[in-house]
Amino acid sequence: MDSVNLEVLKASVRWLGAGHRAWLVTVVKTWGSSPRPEGSMLVVRDDGLVAGSVSGGCIEDDLIDRVRRHAVTPDRPQPLKYGISADDAHRFGLPCGGTIELMLEPLSDARGISALCRRVEAGELVARTLDMATGVATLSAAQATDGVAFDGERFVTIHGPRYRMLVIGSGQLSCYLASIAVGLDYQVTVCDPREEYADTWDVPGTTLVRTMPDDTVLGMKLDERSAVIALTHDPKLDDLALIEALKTPSFYVGALGSRRNNSARRERLKEFDLTEAGLARLHGPAGIYIGSRTPPEIALSILSEVTAAKNGVVLPAASRVEGAKAAREIDASVNALCAA
């Protein structure tokens, strides 16, 4: 599964290669509420076909109409703003006070976009700098903390996975979780030294390593844009990863398991040189409570909690697996007493 922006780039390459003209549209900046974040992309083909998204749909319709009416500059990038007036906000479905600035860029050379695709697919983080005067774009290495920038003369966008995810274990659940995580634009590394599992791993867009989990955590030098999820159910593997991961600034460290297993895991981890604050960072049982039972549902539950943590959303205890199940048990006990 490709990330949304990579799908846009690939569509651009296909359409240019087939002889079509195409315009790349990128969200430059937003004010107030906005349907899509900065850096989101859309490509519009000369016949109105589109890939990607920059809003809830109405802005896309206007862009398609501009292209079909030839109302766009044919050879130079141009910035566009929507939602400045109340009429614009109503017409384009933007929330009250919402404004969005876009860059509309004519694409004429498939080679530049192809080179960008190759580097992103190889796991690189790439800065693309567009010269507004010439329309020429250049590529260079980027840092995870870089963002979209526009000073009137140059427009810089960042492409590739800014966030990393380390998954311990390569079982069935890991396959579903890793597949979805790739689509969420994570650079996914799966660690499993067990041959009987690792030999059958075949999830596209991920990297499999067979080193021991603690060595893998140390070798990856995890930072604030990293997540670690232990899924083996084997303390000899999961605990090794968690002990080291909880010492890193990773924004999410979680482990699969029942409430009983999670309690036993925390007791085991107390025997190592972890601080109380470090141990408190462990998400276990990992995930939010959605009644999940199948591997795909469990993967969705875990990645929902990971996404909330990445976006700085503090979930109430009742929405987490442990809190929700405890609350359900209390409710069941109260109902039983009332019925007695």
**pLDDT tens-place string over residues 219-248:** 999 999 899 999 998 999 999 999 999 999
User: What average pLDDT does this structure show over 115-128?
Assistant: 89
The model's confidence at residue 1, banded by pLDDT at 50, 70 and 90, is: very low
**pTM higher than 0.75 for the full model?**
no
Instruction: Give the three-class secondary structure for 84.
Output: coil
pLDDT at 31 over 50: yes
Which DSSP state fits 98? -
CA-based nearest residue to 56, from 95, 9, 23? 95
User: What average pLDDT does this structure show over 194-202?
Assistant: 91
What pLDDT score does 37 carry? 84
The lowest-confidence range among 45-54, 226-235, 315-324 is 315-324
Q: Any idea where the domains of the chain sit in the sequence?
A: 4-159, 163-321
The model's confidence at residue 79, banded by pLDDT at 50, 70 and 90, is: very high
Query: What CATH number has the domain spanning 163-321?
Result: 3.40.50.720
What pLDDT score does 202 carry? 93
Instruction: Give the three-class secondary structure for 68.
Output: helix
Q: For residues 306 and 228, what is the distance between their CA atoms, to the nearest angstrom?
A: 10
Q: For residues 104 and 26, what is the distance between their CA atoms, to the nearest angstrom?
A: 7
CA-based nearest residue to 23, from 146, 135, 173? 135
What pLDDT score does 86 carry? 55
- Per the model's pLDDT, the better-predicted residue between 157 and 68 turns out to be 157
